[in-house]
Structure 1
Amino acid sequence: MKYVDQLTKQQQEELQKQYEVLSYGVDSIVPEDKFKEKIAKSIKEQQPLKVKLGLDPTAPDVHIGHTVVLNKLKQFQQFGHTIQLIIGDFTGKIGDPTGKAAARKALTDEDVRHNAKTYAEQFGKVIDMDAVELHYNSRWLSKVNFSEVLQLASQVTVARMLERNDFHTRYQMNKPIYLHEFFYPVMQGYDSHVLESDIELGGTDQEFNVLFGRQIQEQFNQEKQVVLLLPLIEGLDGKEKMSKSKNNYIGIDESPNDIFGKTMSIPDELIVKYFELTSNLSIEEVAQIKTQLTDGALHPIEAKIRLACSFVEMLYDKEEAKKSQAHFANVFQKNKIPDDMPEVVWNQDLRVGIVDLIKELGLLPSKSEVRRMVKNGGIRINQEKITDPFTTVDVVDGMIVQVGKRKFVRLRVK
């Protein structure tokens, strides 16, 4: 008999509540009928589910896009389930080939340690890291002998591997696929076997990898995990997946003012999706906002302000959210100069070209970017717009340099 059928009325209500929250915003569940059964078994036996998220520490910067999966982990935590966070210090030396047109560069041990530490610190802004099981998969993968590797590999065909879009594309383009790359999803699946995971989370782009856990668990006659695939969130450009490399991201370690300001620039058509997947608001609150936006009772700008406040509150606190909202209102809506801004001591020539000044201050990465910003009207000196990239300015103490809508610097001359 199924566990679902064995629950009391009160337990059935708890099952329905967990299922509604935990499946909310999920792109797909594989297999969906087994997910409810997993939750029911957990309730019946009073045993928390083991929920796995694997991470290769390839980059230390966490952004709002990561909160899609972090918020889901937080929901599992709130229902008392156990989070298994796996730092792929062993798999990271191969690198996830997903979406790559070439093999990844291997990470050094130092890279892994640094990035893993940064991940843990930043994730702690969203989930309770004290209640997380933190694992490094080198602990078991480094001990697998070659005989065991061959046994695992004997259950996986090359044709199956070439079903992956990235491998298939490279094969069609006659680009090299290295044998060790085939072992990446196998090792990720082996992690699920070792930890006997009940659930694994991953983005929709990770479907091939996370489904391997079910295959490997089956090899070892274990109960197979259920996979929850979560949508990818577009970045500030509204087109590409949020990524630091595409400069369309909101970093969770950025200042409250920057988080607030960047959130206000997201495209209107993404407001609801951001609320659903990345905010800390309840399902009911998001549904109300969605209705208000549809009815015209809530202006998109007001919705973005609420979203921005939710981000700052989630990553900092309510007080910082209030301050960043006031800062945004003064600087952007009322066009005022902020009272608080970085100060930089200028000890070079007091007469300098605007392009050299901005580049020297590090406010833009290149002189070509400065010229482009000038032409777009995005550079001001003491609130006066600079329109000519060949402009020369006289640097004086207290002069305020503004680049775009968010960058302000006050110069000090000694």
Structure 2
Amino acid sequence: MRNLLEQLTDEQLAEVKRQLDMYTQGVEDIIPTEELEWKIAKSVSENRPLRIKLGLDPSAPDVHLGHTVVLKKLKQFQDNGHLIQLIIGDFTGKIGDPTGKSTARTQLTDEEVKHNAKTYFEQFGKIIDMDRVELHYNSKWLSSLQFEDVLRLAGKITVARLMERDDFEERIALGKPISLHEFFYPVMQGYDSVVLESDIELGGTDQHFNILMGRHFQERFGKEKQVALLMPLLEGLDGVEKMSKSKKNYIGIDEEPKAMYGKTMSVPDHLMLKYFELVTDLTAAEVQTIKTNIETGKLHPRDAKMMLAKTIVTMYCGAVEAEKAEQDFVTVFQQGGTPEFVPAMKWGKREAPLLDALVELNLLKSKSEARRMIEHRGVRVNGEIVTDLQFRLNAVDEPLLQVGKRVFVRLAP
């Protein structure tokens, strides 16, 4: 590995460093970093593009900002001339990725997979050049495997290794069942990398186990192992859970500009800089300037969030629509009204004290702060000011909760 770097010219070494710095920025983990550098060096030396894999199970039709964290990193590779291997898991999608699930997922039909995949393609085109993507459906090779082939593939992985998955361990500890077919999900995802001979696979940190399966099976089949490049997960509007449509805490990239702007204004303050870094086109230096200005008081957090909202809407809807969305937002709040689009937060409770809800939903930092806000008439439920510290919320009614002038949330049970 070191010998290859020593053979490169100064110009080639500079190019390797430039790409390595770009790909490592904002990444949570690289397994292993030295192999990533070697693969880039080999690509530069041989003038051969790397094969960059991203696997997707179209379990839901909408793309949200959480998905774009990986897609934006994919675009960096594409902009440097590397080959993007986009794998639609039309076969694995029928099983469903068990990652993070306490029960087996509902298996998708062929029609659902095709419909969701078509929507993905349309929305991905807002971020990457779909005309320069190598598109694959893994049913092409997985559906043709004979039972003997499946047994041979299963023989290359131990049950103990599969049981290292945290979600499987947790389900066994809780006495919850694991169906045999769920064990085959990471096996099939790993086999995708064998067939495509991928150099690098991208995914969120929750895909750590599945992506390492690619390295495992490539090695067992005598092929060069891929590098795992893991991106951080983006918390949703609740500030706690991973952004997800099922949790109703997401911002879709195909939403109406007003909805996109309004939802972004509901992003918790402590996540603002993470959103700037992971989902906008701002440079690291620009994000650092925003951070410094907030810390020194030059930039009010509210104005920073408006900048974030306008930047995101501009990226997906254009500058004109972003300007309209901002003006609508300002007008609504100057008149003391309620925004047209209010994000929903899943609470997980049917009924509880308002004080508890304000803290548990991360709308306020502590009960003492929540108590002060209520006493100072800063909390409304369904438009009515609440001053009773014993007031109880009923999430079944899906109440509209307002904290201060600009934070609006609709609770979901």
Instruction: With the length of structure 1 as denominator, give the TM-score of the two structures.
Output: 0.81
The answer on 1:51 being equivalent to 2:48 is no
Instruction: Provide the secondary structure at the position in 2 that maps to 1:80.
Output: coil
5 Å-filtered alignment, 1:54-65, equals: 54-65=55-66
Deviations 1:74-116 (A, max 9, x none): 1111111111111100011111111111211111000110111
For residues 332 and 193 of structure 1, the distance between their equivalents in structure 2, rounded to whole angstroms, comes to 55
Aligned to 1:71: 72
The answer on 1:228 being equivalent to 2:199 is no
5 Å-filtered alignment, 1:317-328, equals: 317-328=318-329
1:154: Cα distance to partner?
Answer: 1.1
1:293: Cα distance to partner?
Answer: 2.2
Q: Which amino acid aligns with 1:87?
A: I
Higher Rg? 1
CA contact (8 A) 1:250 1:263 kept: yes
Q: Which amino acid aligns with 2:280?
A: S
CA contact (8 A) 1:34 1:226 kept: yes
For residues 338 and 216 of structure 2, the distance between their equivalents in structure 1, rounded to whole angstroms, comes to 59
Aligned to 1:264: 265
1:21: Cα distance to partner?
Answer: 1.4
The answer on 1:255 being equivalent to 2:256 is yes
For residues 128 and 167 of structure 1, the distance between their equivalents in structure 2, rounded to whole angstroms, comes to 37
Tell which deviates more after alignment, 286-295 or 83-92.
286-295
Q: Which amino acid aligns with 1:184?
A: Y
Q: Which amino acid aligns with 1:285?
A: E
Q: Which amino acid aligns with 1:207?
A: H
For residues 329 and 164 of structure 2, the distance between their equivalents in structure 1, rounded to whole angstroms, comes to 48
Aligned to 1:107: 108
Aligned to 1:300: 301
For residues 71 and 377 of structure 1, the distance between their equivalents in structure 2, rounded to whole angstroms, comes to 39
For residues 290 and 17 of structure 1, the distance between their equivalents in structure 2, rounded to whole angstroms, comes to 25
CA contact (8 A) 1:276 1:286 kept: yes
The ranges of structure 1 where at least 4 consecutive aligned residues each deviate by more than 3 angstroms after the TM superposition are: 333-338, 376-380, 402-407
Tell which deviates more after alignment, 4-13 or 250-259.
4-13
Root mean square deviation of aligned Cα: 2.7
Aligned to 2:170: 169
5 Å-filtered alignment, 1:351-390, equals: 377=380
For residues 107 and 166 of structure 2, the distance between their equivalents in structure 1, rounded to whole angstroms, comes to 21
For residues 320 and 222 of structure 1, the distance between their equivalents in structure 2, rounded to whole angstroms, comes to 49
CA contact (8 A) 2:276 2:282 kept: yes
For residues 164 and 105 of structure 2, the distance between their equivalents in structure 1, rounded to whole angstroms, comes to 19
Aligned to 1:188: 189
For residues 96 and 3 of structure 2, the distance between their equivalents in structure 1, rounded to whole angstroms, comes to 40
For residues 8 and 293 of structure 2, the distance between their equivalents in structure 1, rounded to whole angstroms, comes to 38
For residues 271 and 332 of structure 1, the distance between their equivalents in structure 2, rounded to whole angstroms, comes to 20
CA contact (8 A) 2:61 2:119 kept: yes
Deviations 1:41-64 (A, max 9, x none): 111111111111101111112111
For residues 239 and 204 of structure 1, the distance between their equivalents in structure 2, rounded to whole angstroms, comes to 16
For residues 323 and 15 of structure 1, the distance between their equivalents in structure 2, rounded to whole angstroms, comes to 43
Deviations 1:231-260 (A, max 9, x none): 111111111111122221111111111111
CA contact (8 A) 1:51 1:200 kept: yes
1:335: Cα distance to partner?
Answer: 4.2
CA contact (8 A) 2:58 2:113 kept: yes
Aligned to 2:211: 210
For residues 407 and 305 of structure 2, the distance between their equivalents in structure 1, rounded to whole angstroms, comes to 17
Q: Which amino acid aligns with 2:9?
A: T
CA contact (8 A) 1:330 1:337 kept: no
Q: Which amino acid aligns with 2:153?
A: L
Aligned to 1:282: 283
Q: Which amino acid aligns with 2:313?
A: V
1:182: Cα distance to partner?
Answer: 0.8
1:292: Cα distance to partner?
Answer: 2.0
1:406: Cα distance to partner?
Answer: 11
Instruction: Please list every run of 5 or more consecutive structure 2 residues that lacks an aligned counterpart in the other structure.
Output: 345-349, 355-378, 387-399, 409-413
Q: Which amino acid aligns with 1:118?
A: T
Q: Which amino acid aligns with 1:132?
A: V
For residues 231 and 113 of structure 1, the distance between their equivalents in structure 2, rounded to whole angstroms, comes to 28
Q: Which amino acid aligns with 2:167?
A: D
5 Å-filtered alignment, 1:79-158, equals: 79-158=80-159
Instruction: Provide the secondary structure at the position in 1 that maps to 2:246.
Output: helix
1:120: Cα distance to partner?
Answer: 1.1
Instruction: With the length of structure 2 as denominator, give the TM-score of the two structures.
Output: 0.81
Tell which deviates more after alignment, 294-303 or 31-40.
294-303
Q: Which amino acid aligns with 2:33?
A: E
Instruction: Provide the secondary structure at the position in 2 that maps to 1:245.
Output: coil
Tell which deviates more after alignment, 11-20 or 51-60.
11-20
Q: Which amino acid aligns with 1:250?
A: I
Instruction: Provide the secondary structure at the position in 2 that maps to 1:83.
Output: strand
For residues 39 and 326 of structure 2, the distance between their equivalents in structure 1, rounded to whole angstroms, comes to 42
Q: Would the alpha carbon gap of residues 208 and 46 (structure 1) be closer, same or farther in structure 2, given more than 3 Å must change?
A: same
1:275: Cα distance to partner?
Answer: 0.9
Give identity over the alignment, percent: 59
Aligned to 1:244: 245
For residues 151 and 288 of structure 1, the distance between their equivalents in structure 2, rounded to whole angstroms, comes to 55
CA contact (8 A) 1:4 1:36 kept: no
Instruction: Provide the secondary structure at the position in 2 that maps to 1:312.
Output: helix
CA contact (8 A) 1:63 1:251 kept: yes
CA contact (8 A) 2:205 2:232 kept: yes
Instruction: Provide the secondary structure at the position in 1 that maps to 2:61.
Output: coil
For residues 151 and 182 of structure 1, the distance between their equivalents in structure 2, rounded to whole angstroms, comes to 15
Q: Which amino acid aligns with 2:49?
A: P
1:171: Cα distance to partner?
Answer: 1.7
Instruction: Provide the secondary structure at the position in 2 that maps to 1:200.
Output: strand
1:216: Cα distance to partner?
Answer: 0.8
Aligned to 2:361: none
1:386: Cα distance to partner?
Answer: 10
1:147: Cα distance to partner?
Answer: 2.1
For residues 197 and 378 of structure 1, the distance between their equivalents in structure 2, rounded to whole angstroms, comes to 53
Deviations 1:281-321 (A, max 9, x none): 12221222222223222221121122112211111212222
Instruction: Please list every run of 5 or more consecutive structure 1 residues that lacks an aligned counterpart in the other structure.
Output: 343-362, 388-401, 408-414
